[in-house]
Structure 1
Amino acid sequence: MILPPAAVGVLGGGQLGMYFVRAARDLGYETWVLDPGEGSPAGRIADHHLVAAYDDREALDRMGRACAAVTTEFENVPADALDHLAAVTVVAPGSGSVRVCQDRIAEKTFLRDHGLAHAPFAVVEGGEDAAALPEELFPGILKSARLGYDGRGQASVATPDDLAAAHAEIGGVPAVLEQRLALDTELSVVLARDPDGAMEAFAPVENRHTAGILDTSTVPARVPAALQDEATDLARRVAEALGHVGTLGVELFVCDGRLLVNEIAPRPHNSGHPTLDCCAVDQFEQQLRALCGLPLADPSAHSAAVMVNLLGDLWLDEGRVREPDWAALLAVPGARLHLYGKAEARPGRKMGHVTVVAPEPEAAADGAARARRAVGLPPAPG
């Protein structure tokens, strides 16, 4: 075990890194952040902030010497940086898990090779004969292999004749073409796995998106208990196959009652934010516990919860920046406001979230609807 007051580090200075730093500081660890942004949310609250690129060997060496263990807040950190750090300190998750999750071609191939249910897909490198692709993939969604998130790097493809234009729209980069599916709903499972393979999973979360960006997460998910158990088992199988150590988010589609893995996040997940308020332990403390070899905590929920993402659009009014009516929002019973401290509000940028907790799911849903109205958000997507 790596015990406080040892130093722990995180690659990435966004809100996920910020909550990891908070969890580590609460338990008495010294904290380090490596992130190129001087005003990053995590860097501002850490004991030490290395303002450097993720592949800066000098900065990596300094972090490796100082920290007993290092993790990452997102999958797009160079996997080679994790390998470099692993030569001198404990690193979790390892580069193998991150390499799979940071490239959709690798991710879909991993799911296929391990018999994990997923949407039909084909690799599109460029110059393919669209007519030779499986007919079942149309209509489909073309997704860039790397650096695509929150709906970015994606284009709809109605017929084979549309493939070339769609590929040009996403920059002509390597991609996967996935069959467009009729979804019953979307779920996610966030779990933690320790170095010995022990796992603890939070209850499955039901998610709603707007324009490809997560809008609302509901705990407990409004699906049958048997389907929740199946989702948890599928997420555990993913973690085991990856050999993942740390917190893991697994996004799932429900299609005609059948579960399919959509994407894997080798770190805490946006849909896991309700754990900050509705569980005895949150996803970030579990990340820390797994990294340091501490016993994983009981992830049971003590309340129902609905989380609503607060995007930069909320601050923007006809080109002017305005502060939302936090007084009205905080007057909603059970509302817990989380602002990330980002300096600039931009459309689609995650600036914070509000979670409404209540003893019963109906009360949490009613409170979330009131919170949306309080700050002028439209009703939740159906």
Structure 2
Amino acid sequence: MKTCAPGSVIGMLGGGQLGRMLALAAAQLGYHTHVYCPDEKNPAEQVTDRLSRNSYTDEAALVEFGKSVDVVTYEFENIPVETVELLQKHVPVFPSAKVLKVSQDRLREKDFLNGIGIETAPYAPVATVDEAAIALRDIGYPAVLKTRRFGYDGKGQAIVRQPTDLLDAWASLKSSEIIIEGFIPFDMEISVLAARGQDGEIRCFDPAENIHKNHILDLSIAPARIAPELRAEAIEIARRIVAELDYVGVLAVEFFVSGAAPVFRVNEIAPRVHNSGHWSIEACPTSQFEQHIRAICGLPLGDTTLYGRTEMKNLIGDDILDMESYLKDPAANFHHYGKKQAHPGRKMGHVTWVYPDAASWDD
């Protein structure tokens, strides 16, 4: 077990808003951060001790970075596995390259989940449009074509509602590594943030209910408006996933919830802190960001109890222009990610409201 004392340096692969909030949480616990990111003017560089602006494939720069820090983590999952494998030769990295291999490929992820008895949508890997047509005969319509890698916020996927949609959908994805997923009718999407420490301790946050707009998370509500037995089942599934992966850090599990059997199907997992858990900064004694830092540094995990019912709204694009109205709201907790340019679909910040006098949405 690798324990990092306050004053140690945490290496961060990626410089987006998740890295920014992780760096702030690390500073709260007495740690320094060193961000490694090729992007110009990234949100995390505004709050880190040190920045390396290099490619994820620059081996010499990665070795130098690895030797300058005490532990490494990452804030998004589309980093080359080879980058993490190289760094692991010089410094502990959490989550591991093994986890990254599973989570950044939709096919490997579905195979893993089904292999441990967790329900997902029916699926099939295909490499040509002819293979896709054959697979769709078994899976049925409607279905979703997804690139196996590099998809998020609705990118890298196309819906086929009938056979005549297939050619255009296939062409739009510009890839030969495709997975077809059956379309699952659902009543609600929820997510569970599960944290696992180096010593195997696991703590989960309350399930959050997620509402999307244009394929991007718009609103998260915690606790999710589900029955107590469903809450317990969702948390147990998340616990099983992090245990089976021998995971260290915070991982998000997204579920489709329906009134029909099976009630739960896992949509996807994300090996990092997650947009649907930003509300934990104000709503819990330990935020998802602090919990991740605790886990990778070998510290005891913190309390995840909700202070009360909570809403978190993403500020997408020009939504950030309403900043003053949120600042005038005494109940609003406003977060700006430090990005200068707002454009459609870009996450610019978020706002959280916590209602401590109400433990659930029935109060």
Q: TM-score under structure 1 normalisation? A: 0.90
Work out the CA distance in 1 between the residues paired with 2:309 and 2:82.
40
Which residue of the other structure, out of 329, 334, 341, is the alignment partner of 1:332? 329
Q: Does 1:108 align with 2:110?
A: yes
Q: Please state whether the residue corresponding to 1:147 is helix, strand or coil.
A: coil
User: 1:351 deviation in Å?
Assistant: 0.5
Structure 2 gap ranges (5+)? none
Work out the CA distance in 2 between the residues paired with 1:363 and 1:178.
34
Write the mapping of 1:157-306 to structure 2, written as runs, cut at 5 A: 157-256=160-259, 258-306=263-311
Q: Do 1:130 and 1:160's aligned partners in 2 also have CA atoms closer than 8 Å?
A: no
| Match in the other structure for 1:132 | 134
Work out the CA distance in 2 between the residues paired with 1:57 and 1:26.
31
Q: Do 1:189 and 1:205's aligned partners in 2 also have CA atoms closer than 8 Å?
A: yes
Write the mapping of 1:349-368 to structure 2, written as runs, cut at 5 A: 349-360=346-357
Write the mapping of 1:59-98 to structure 2, written as runs, cut at 5 A: 59-98=61-100
| Match in the other structure for 1:379 | none
Provide, for residues 102-138 of structure 1, a one-character-per-residue CA deviation record: whole Å limited to 9, x for no partner.
Answer: 1111111111222111111111222434442243331
| Match in the other structure for 2:42 | 40
| Match in the other structure for 1:17 | 19
User: 1:160 deviation in Å?
Assistant: 3.4
Work out the CA distance in 2 between the residues paired with 1:363 and 1:131.
46
User: What RMSD over aligned residues (CA atoms) do the two structures have, in Å?
Assistant: 1.7
Q: What is the identity, as a one-letter code, of the residue corresponding to 1:46?
A: T
Q: Percent identity?
A: 43
Work out the CA distance in 2 between the residues paired with 1:164 and 1:176.
15
From the superposition, tell whether residues 180 and 59 of structure 1 become closer, same or farther in structure 2 (CA, over 3 Å).
same
Select between 4-13 and 103-112 the one with higher mean Cα deviation.
103-112
Q: Does 1:141 align with 2:144?
A: yes
Q: Please state whether the residue corresponding to 2:117 is helix, strand or coil.
A: coil
| Match in the other structure for 1:117 | 119
From the superposition, tell whether residues 162 and 327 of structure 1 become closer, same or farther in structure 2 (CA, over 3 Å).
closer
Select between 110-119 and 335-344 the one with higher mean Cα deviation.
110-119
Q: Please state whether the residue corresponding to 2:268 is helix, strand or coil.
A: strand
Work out the CA distance in 2 between the residues paired with 1:325 and 1:346.
14
Q: Please state whether the residue corresponding to 1:327 is helix, strand or coil.
A: helix
From the superposition, tell whether residues 26 and 130 of structure 1 become closer, same or farther in structure 2 (CA, over 3 Å).
closer
Q: Please state whether the residue corresponding to 1:119 is helix, strand or coil.
A: coil
Q: Please state whether the residue corresponding to 1:16 is helix, strand or coil.
A: helix
User: 1:362 deviation in Å?
Assistant: 9.5
| Match in the other structure for 1:320 | none
Q: Please state whether the residue corresponding to 1:128 is helix, strand or coil.
A: helix
| Match in the other structure for 1:53 | 55
Work out the CA distance in 2 between the residues paired with 1:108 and 1:98.
14
Q: Do 1:121 and 1:137's aligned partners in 2 also have CA atoms closer than 8 Å?
A: no
Q: Do 1:145 and 1:173's aligned partners in 2 also have CA atoms closer than 8 Å?
A: no
| Match in the other structure for 1:307 | 312
Q: Do 2:307 and 2:354's aligned partners in 1 also have CA atoms closer than 8 Å?
A: no
Work out the CA distance in 1 between the residues paired with 2:60 and 2:39.
17
Structure 1 gap ranges (5+)? 316-323, 366-382
User: 1:176 deviation in Å?
Assistant: 1.2
